[in-house]
Amino acid sequence: NAGVTQTPKFQVLKTGQSMTLQCAQDMNHEYMSWYRQDPGMGLRLIHYSVGAGITDQGEVPNGYNVSRSTTEDFPLRLLSAAPSQTSVYFCASKRLTDTEAFFGQGTRLTVV
Amino acid sequence: EDKVVQSPLSLVVHEGDTVTLNCSYEVTNFRSLLWYKQEKKAPTFLFMLTSSGIEKKSGRLSSILDKKELFSILNITATQTGDSAVYLCFNYGGSQGNLIFGKGTKLSVKP
């Protein structure tokens, strides 16, 4: 079982560049979500989705876009990277009912 | 506003010590509280708690939930250096069941 797959694992961007973080799960989970993890801040919700075609904002959505065209994939787009977006990003998925959440391995993003 | 508060934020102990990590919460539509362990990479599942007063155990780790006082504890007995990690507590809350995280407790176990 692949579980939740995130790519890339590491990325360095220049300010103003755009990029897409990929997240894919093979467990047919309805719920998928993106978090950023910063020292002293814990994991903060960026965007989430409860099914294909349905997305919503979390706690810190500014500067990020998402889409959910399939159940499996939930990409996170940085439109114009800023140094404040330097962080570790995690994708997670779960069934809509309250079950265990599964996390990807994380993407360490540095914006210079 | 939904929130989860973990304490302490960091903790240094020696091998063999017993530690207790705390997680308090204020969450609308509370359903479950979960504990995860995060080492270098992705958080990994430890426990899911939905009912008060029922202890869950896995080896040297155990956890219990108090829904009246709105908190949970995670106990680790006879700590080992391999227990060094960040321990995350989170709830499923709100109308969509979003994960609501505490900031984590960083546990360091010295030999």
Residues B17-58: tens digit of each pLDDT: 999 999 999 988 888 899 999 998 889 999 999 989 999 999
Q: What tens digit of pLDDT does each residue of B54-71 get? A: 999 999 999 999 999 999
Percent residues over pLDDT 70 in chain A: 98
Q: Which pLDDT belongs to residue B29? A: 80
Q: Compute how many other C-beta atoms are within 10 angstroms of the C-beta atom of residue A101.
A: 23
| Partner residue opposite A42 with nearest CB, options B34, B44, B103 | B103
Please state whether A28 falls in left (phi above 0), alpha (psi between -120 and 50) or beta: left
Percent residues over pLDDT 90 in chain B: 75
Calculate the alpha carbon distances from A33 to A20, A43, A92, B25 in Å: 15, 11, 5, 21
Interface check B10 vs A, CB under 8 A: no
Q: Which pLDDT belongs to residue A1? A: 59
Tell me which chain A residue has its CA closest to the CA of residue B86: A42
Whether A29 and A89 have beta carbons less than 8 Å apart is answered as no
Q: Which pLDDT belongs to residue B30? A: 85
Q: Which pLDDT belongs to residue B27? A: 84
Work out the average pLDDT over A24-31.
95
Mean pLDDT for chain B overall: 93
CA distance B56 to B35: 11
Whether B104 and B87 have beta carbons less than 8 Å apart is answered as yes
With residue A110 as reference, give the H or E element that holds it: strand A107-111
| Partner residue opposite A90 with nearest CB, options B42, B45, B103 | B42
Is residue A18 over pLDDT 80?
yes
Interface check A89 vs B, CB under 8 A: no
Contact residues on chain A for B45, CB-CB shorter than 8 A: 100-101
Q: What tens digit of pLDDT does each residue of A56-95 get? A: 999 899 999 999 999 999 999 999 999 999 999 999 999 9
Whether A104 and A86 have beta carbons less than 8 Å apart is answered as no
Size of interface A-B (CB pairs under 8 A): 53
